[in-house]
């Protein structure tokens, strides 16, 4: 990337950051408050209010849920914010000759950084307060899972953002699909609890393995699905290559349709 | 000859037609198969252009002639449908007023991004920021969201960034039309200095005054094609002539649809030669024939304006207490003859405007114009030669 583009990316990141917290009283403190509050709510609802009867192999349910939910949110937030990147930057795209995918990358990167920091904070709380103690091998698995999620988020965002320029229904559809994906991915439940037929079908969800890799890696309560994670990683990379090919074909005409 | 900063060969642009609901998805489908995106309208075709370092070129033409599209293609924000553009050096563009500022962010934040786009960031930007702030001269608004700006302030800020980054080639689109007069002068002064220092300019403007003042070459676009290209004065003049010819051809049509109650039937200038020119200091005679309802004697208002429309002088028969003479041609026909002896107008192109007015001289009914040129040499400034003399102090 030429240095000028790096500087622009840096400025776009600053801008994303400001857009999130500008005008709010707590400002950047929300970065810490939001995941902690979310965790508190989870612990209260599923720990005290309606103790979950899900079999979590000895893991307390709030911990089990947090280890699935925060990685999923990292993915889902990135995709839903990334989808409107081009539309939200139409003014710049019309006036400034920059590679348009820069705008998607800034969006996704900003979202991943914010949510990644939140995830780190949650993990810290889980380690200090809930007795979570990941092994180095487990941490590596979690990092690998996270990497796959980020690459997939980038690929999905690039494709959705481009389609959104041509067909404005795309953002609505992405919202619906993310809602569906939440339930089709083992966030609220464990793959082992599903009837055999459904558990097998999860193999077709490329997001299942990375979420499980993060959860199992960090908690150590079940084995890391390395093979499935590898396939998911391959899928994410292929999707990214596909998005590049798509960009090459249709991306040249963004300005005509914005 | 120096290498061109920008060169376009056979440049053309067709926009997709996306009015109907299915057009967009169809266009996407065509693009994915590597075809052109379905139905298209052509807005620009066959443009060859070459701008060398140190040149200044204006693009003129009517609205919709393709000027902005051409600038976008040259800048690179649009992909050409045909032909190619090659660019060398840093290009700074102010397209569609403003550098793509985001309304929610402050002027300062927008400047940071705009400057980064022009390759100015980090320490270099921190050094330049006060200069940008001073050039824009928008005071405390610099830290307000851009949505609270007037359109003039947006342009000031955009221009300030350009001024600070000093691109090799400056491409601007009607910036000078928005700012107030003081800022316009500041911009023009800056552009003058920039050109004198070897800068290169490509300017779109509807102000032929700016075109003549700032540019040495001009390109006249008409319906997406080059109508003329060459020395700025000559192209601007050709364009002006074409505009006037078109206006004249539209006038009778307007008259036919609703003939005013009182109208100017004939207007002629005596004292001018066949080309409509007279020497400075000679007598200009305006002869007008008016028509109106029988028995109602109209008044005549005559105005002299410079070719660009700047008023010089206007006077009516009512002001001077003159009654128009009845024309033997018939009832309702009137004649007037107005003389300007020793015409004080400085050499240049002017127009006589004649208006028919009602008998009370309250309402204007009709406007007819004739153009004339005052010949001669004069180094004086302005429109008219005022009587004056120098005295020993």
B79 in contact with A, Cβ within 8 Å = yes
| pLDDT tens digits along A119-148 | 999 999 999 988 888 899 999 999 999 999
- pLDDT value of residue A178: 96
A95 interfacial to chain B (CB closer than 8 Å): yes
Q: Which domain holds residue A50?
A: 26-257
pLDDT of amino acid A36: 86
Task: Give the domain B4-13+50-242 fold.
Answer: Rossmann fold (3.40.50)
pLDDT tens, A155-200? 999 999 999 999 888 999 999 999 999 999 998 888 888 888 888 8
**Looking at the predicted complex, does its ipTM rise above 0.85?**
no
A19 inside domain: no
d(CA A72, CA B37): 37
Whether A17 has its CB under 8 Å from any CB of chain B: the answer is no
pTM of the model: 0.75
Q: Check if B109 contacts A (Cβ < 8 Å).
A: yes
pLDDT tens digit string along A49-84? 877 666 666 788 888 889 999 999 999 999 999 999
Number of Cβ within a 10 Å radius of residue A110: 22
- Measured CA to CA, the distance from residue B179 to residue B152 in angstroms comes to 4
User: Is B41 an 8 Å CB contact of chain A?
Assistant: no
Per-residue pLDDT at A93 exceeds 60: yes
Number of domains in chain A: 1
- Average pLDDT rounded to a whole number, residues B217-229: 92
Give domain status of residue A182, yes or no. Answer: yes
Cβ A228 vs Cβ A221: under 8 Å: no
pLDDT tens across B45-86, in order? Answer: 999 999 999 999 999 999 889 998 999 999 988 889 999 999
Do the chains contact at A15 and B95, CB–CB below 8 Å? no
pLDDT at site B256? 46
- Read off the pLDDT of each residue in B349-353 and give the average, rounded to a whole number: 91
A181 within domain boundaries: yes
Q: Do A253 and B79 touch (CB under 8 A)?
A: yes
Stretch A206-211: mean pLDDT: 96
Let me know if residue A249 belongs to a domain: yes
**Is the predicted pLDDT of residue B218 greater than 90, yes or no?**
yes
pLDDT (0 to 100) of residue A159: 96
Eight-state DSSP code of residue A45: I
B1 band by pLDDT with thresholds 50, 70 and 90:
low
Whether the per-residue pLDDT at B102 is higher than 90: the answer is no
The verdict on a CB contact (< 8 Å) between A166 and B24 is: yes
Contact yes or no for A7 and B121 at CB 8 A: yes
Domain contains A174: yes
Cα gap A56→A212, rounded to integer Å: 13
Residue with tokens 């000759």: A97
In this structure, is residue A204 part of a structural domain? yes
Q: Where are the domains of chain B?
A: 4-13+50-242, 261-375
In SS3 terms, A12-44 reads as: HHHHHHHHHHCCCCCHHHHHHHHHHHHHHHHHH
Contact B88, B3 (CB under 8 A): yes
The answer to whether the CB atoms of B100 and A94 lie below 8 A apart is yes
Residue B22 at interface with chain A, using a CB cutoff of 8 Å:
no
CA A55 to chain centre: 25
Q: Which tokens go with B347?
A: 């050499």
Averaged confidence pLDDT in chain A: 89
Tell me if chain B has a CB within 8 Å of the CB of A169. Answer: no
Measured between beta carbons, which residues in chain A are less than 8 angstroms from residue B96?
94-95
For range B181-205, the mean pLDDT:
88
Predicted local confidence at residue B254, as pLDDT: 46
Q: Does 2.60.40.3880 match the CATH number of domain B261-375?
A: yes
Pick A252's closest partner by Cβ from B18, B79, B95.
Answer: B79
Contacts of B93 in chain A (CB under 8 A): 95-97
């Amino acid at each position: 990337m030429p240095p000028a583009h790096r500087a622009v990316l840096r400025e776009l990141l600053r801008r994303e950051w400001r857009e999130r917290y500008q005008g709010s009283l707590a400002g950047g403190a929300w970065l810490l408050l939001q995941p902690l509050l979310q965790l508190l709510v989870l612990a209260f609802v599923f720990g005290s209010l309606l103790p979950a009867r899900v079999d979590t192999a000895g893991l307390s349910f709030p911990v089990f849920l947090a280890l699935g939910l925060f990685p999923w949110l990292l993915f889902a937030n990135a995709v839903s914010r990334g989808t409107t990147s081009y539309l939200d930057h139409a003014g710049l795209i019309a006036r400034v000759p920059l590679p348009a995918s820069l705008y998607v990358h800034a969006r996704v990167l900003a979202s991943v950084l914010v949510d990644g920091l939140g995830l780190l904070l949650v993990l810290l709380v889980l380690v200090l307060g809930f007795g979570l103690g990941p092994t180095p091998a487990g941490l590596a698995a979690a990092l690998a899972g996270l990497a796959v999620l980020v690459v997939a988020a980038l690929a999905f965002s690039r494709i959705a953002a481009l389609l959104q320029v041509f067909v404005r229904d795309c953002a609505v559809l992405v919202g619906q699909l993310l809602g569906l994906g939440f339930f089709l991915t083992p966030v609220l439940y464990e793959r082992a609890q599903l009837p055999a037929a459904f558990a097998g079908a999860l193999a077709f969800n490329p997001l299942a393995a990375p979420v499980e890799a993060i959860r199992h890696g960090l908690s150590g309560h079940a084995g890391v699905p390395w093979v499935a994670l590898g396939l998911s990683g391959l899928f994410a990379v292929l999707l990214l290559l596909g998005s590049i090919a798509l960009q090459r074909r249709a991306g040249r005409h963004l300005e005509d349709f914005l | 000859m120096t290498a061109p900063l920008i060169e376009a060969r056979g440049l053309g642009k067709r926009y997709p037609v996306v009015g109907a609901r299915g057009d967009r998805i169809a266009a996407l489908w065509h693009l994915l198969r590597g075809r052109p995106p379905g139905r298209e309208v052509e807005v620009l075709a066959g443009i060859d252009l070459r701008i060398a370092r140190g040149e200044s070129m204006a693009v003129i033409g009517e609205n919709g002639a393709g000027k902005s599209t051409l600038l976008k293609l040259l800048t690179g924000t649009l992909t050409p449908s045909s032909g190619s553009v090659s660019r060398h050096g840093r290009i700074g563009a102010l397209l569609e007023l403003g550098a793509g500022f985001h309304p929610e962010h402050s002027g300062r934040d927008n400047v940071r991004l705009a400057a980064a786009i022009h390759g100015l960031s980090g320490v270099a930007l921190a050094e330049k920021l006060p200069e940008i702030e001073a050039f824009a001269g928008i005071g405390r608004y610099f830290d307000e969201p851009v949505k609270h700006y007037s359109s003039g302030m947006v342009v000031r800020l955009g221009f300030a960034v350009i001024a600070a980054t000093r691109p090799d080639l400056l491409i601007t689109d009607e910036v000078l039309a928005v700012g107030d007069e003081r800022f316009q002068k500041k911009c023009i002064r800056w552009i003058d200095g920039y050109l004198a220092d070897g800068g290169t300019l490509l300017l779109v403007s509807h102000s032929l005054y700016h075109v003549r003042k700032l540019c040495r070459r001009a390109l006249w676009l008409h319906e997406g094609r080059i109508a003329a290209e060459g020395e700025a004065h000559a192209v601007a003049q050709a364009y002006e002539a074409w505009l006037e010819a078109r206006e004249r051809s539209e006038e009778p049509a307007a008259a036919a649809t609703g003939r005013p109650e009182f109208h100017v039937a004939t207007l002629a200038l005596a004292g001018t030669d066949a080309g409509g020119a007279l020497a400075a200091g000679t007598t200009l005679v305006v002869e007008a024939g008016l028509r109106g309802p029988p028995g109602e004697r109209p008044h005549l208002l005559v105005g002299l304006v410079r070719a660009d429309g700047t008023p010089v002088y206007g006077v009516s028969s009512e002001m001077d207490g003159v009654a128009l003479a009845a024309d033997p041609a018939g009832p309702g026909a009137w004649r007037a003859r107005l003389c300007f002896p020793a015409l004080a107008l400085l050499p240049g192109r002017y127009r006589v405007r004649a208006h028919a007015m009602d008998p009370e001289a309250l309402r204007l009914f009709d406007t007819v114009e004739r153009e004339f040129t005052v010949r001669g040499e004069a180094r004086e400034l302005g429109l008219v030669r005022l009587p004056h003399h120098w005295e020993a102090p």
